[in-house]
Amino acid sequence: MIYLSLFFTALIAATLFPLSSEALLVALLYQHYSPLLLWLVATSGNTLGSCINWYLGKECLRWQDKNWFPVNPTQLARAQQQFQRYGLWSLLFAWVPVVGDPLTLIAGVMRISFWKFAALVALGKAVRYGLIIYIALCA
Which residues make Cβ contacts (< 8 Å) with residue 35, sequence separation at least 6?
Answer: 29, 133, 137
Single-letter code of the amino acid located at 26: V
Give the distance, in angstroms, between the CA of residue 22 and the centroid of all CA atoms in the same chain. 13
- C-alpha to C-alpha distance for 37 and 14, rounded to whole angstroms: 19
Q: Per mean pLDDT, which range of 8-12, 17-21, 28-32 is the poorest?
A: 17-21
DSSP 32: T
User: In this model, does residue 28 exceed pLDDT 90?
Assistant: yes
Give the distance, in angstroms, between the CA of residue 32 and the centroid of all CA atoms in the same chain. 26
Across 66-88, average pLDDT:
82
User: In this model, does residue 132 exceed pLDDT 80?
Assistant: yes
Q: Are 136 and 26 in contact (CB under 8 A)?
A: yes
Nearest to 94 by CA among 115, 71, 117, 113: 117
Instruction: Indicate the pTM of the whole model.
Output: 0.90
Across 106-125, average pLDDT:
95
Please state the domain extents for the chain. Answer: 2-138
